[in-house]
Amino acid sequence: MDYGGLVKKALDIMWKFKYLWVFGFFVQVLSGGGWGIGRISDKWENFKFPIARWSDSWHGLNGLKMTIDNHIGELAIAVILLLILAAFLIFLIFLVLGIISQGGLIHCVSRIQAGERPTLGDGWNIGVKNFWRMLGIWIIIVICILASILVLLVPFILVIIASGIFGLLFGMFLIPLFILAIITISLIDFYATRTCILEGKGVFDSLAGGWKTLINNLAKTIMVTIISVGSTIIYIIGFIIVGLVLAIPFVLIAVANLFLGIVLGVLAGLIYIILVSGAWGTYIDSFWTLAFLELKKLKPVVGTGL
């Protein structure tokens, strides 16, 4: 396998097909109830009309203060519940977009490798078409990660709490196993998602295919993983250095006008993070897709089935 060629091709795809950065951004974010509504409504109504309640509990200034404190507490609970609900909705939105983007990016990279020029819409259609299968893979992978934490990490923490030094010695055995389990699960995920999109298999067949691809190509997968980790380290260092350089003008602006410097700095920072994350997500996902195609010797997908 030409590992340098894979890196060069992935970088080439990232640079020439910048519209894929949209998918890359949401892939990076991914790799990040109705019960409360009625209760919030009730509490809001209680807060909205406090005068009647004050008249019932009016016993001087202490009574007034107690009533105000109760309403403030009720409002705080309502705000917290609303924030939790909003965070959950945002999580769902990014989860859906991330899964669709991952499927779309895998498909587009395969078609680019075939010499075609897929559009963002082509990738979106494939991502939507395979959404439920990709979601199923994601759920099982998350369950496996949580199981690894429960079986390997939690006992380590409990032993440390209970026995101190013995727990640290115990951790020398469990922590490497935990790291190995997480790496293995992640590699199966990388291959399973590509098996799903490029071979059209179901959830469990894709996971089985991911495991088979990993076992049959273990040495090559280790090399691809090392290159991926090395690329990530370079990316992180570059991201920090460039970010610090870009921050200098806004620091100077903040010296003269603190509010303006902060506002402009935050806006520029968000744009920088979105663009760089999109580019990086496109590169690293393309790299793994190209590696998968090389390992399986698959014929790249042509523009059919949309």
For every residue of 109-120, DSSP letters joined together read: HHHHHTT----H
Look up residue 299 and give its DSSP letter: P
Task: In whole angstroms, give the CA distance from residue 97 to residue 91.
Answer: 10
Report pLDDT for 71: 65
Closest residue by Cα to residue 283 from 21, 20, 22, 11: 11
Three-class SS of residue 266?
A: helix
Report pLDDT for 45: 39
Are 25 and 105 spatial neighbours (Cβ–Cβ below 8 Å)? no
Closest residue by Cα to residue 9 from 112, 89, 136: 112
Q: Which amino acid is at 239?
A: F
Report pLDDT for 129: 95
Report pLDDT for 149: 87
For residue 297, the surrounding DSSP H or E stretch is none
C-alpha angle 19-23-26 in degrees, rounded to nearest 5: 135
Q: For residue range 134-170, what is the model confidence (pLDDT) as tens digits?
A: 999 999 999 999 998 888 777 777 777 766 666 666 6
Report pLDDT for 38: 36
Q: What are phi and psi of 151, to 5 degrees?
A: -80, -35
Task: In whole angstroms, give the CA distance from residue 131 to residue 54.
Answer: 53
pTM of the model: 0.78
Per-residue tens of pLDDT for the chain, all 306 residues: 888 999 999 999 999 999 999 999 999 888 753 333 333 333 333 434 444 444 454 455 555 556 665 667 778 888 898 999 999 999 999 999 999 999 999 999 999 998 899 999 999 999 999 999 999 999 999 999 999 888 877 777 777 776 666 666 666 777 888 889 999 999 999 999 999 999 999 999 999 999 999 999 999 999 999 999 999 999 999 999 999 999 999 999 999 888 998 999 999 999 999 999 999 999 999 999 999 999 987 555 555 443
For residue 162, the surrounding DSSP H or E stretch is helix 154-163
Are 169 and 100 spatial neighbours (Cβ–Cβ below 8 Å)? no
Task: In whole angstroms, give the CA distance from residue 306 to residue 301.
Answer: 12
Report pLDDT for 286: 95
Q: What is the mean pLDDT of the chain?
A: 83
Q: How many CB atoms neighbour CB 47 within 10 A?
A: 15
Q: For residue range 23-72, what is the model confidence (pLDDT) as tens digits?
A: 999 998 887 533 333 333 333 334 344 444 444 544 555 555 566 656 67
Look up residue 20 and give its DSSP letter: G
Output the DSSP codes for 63-80. Answer: HHHHHHHHHHHHHHHHHH
Are 155 and 174 spatial neighbours (Cβ–Cβ below 8 Å)? yes
Three-class SS of residue 52?
A: helix
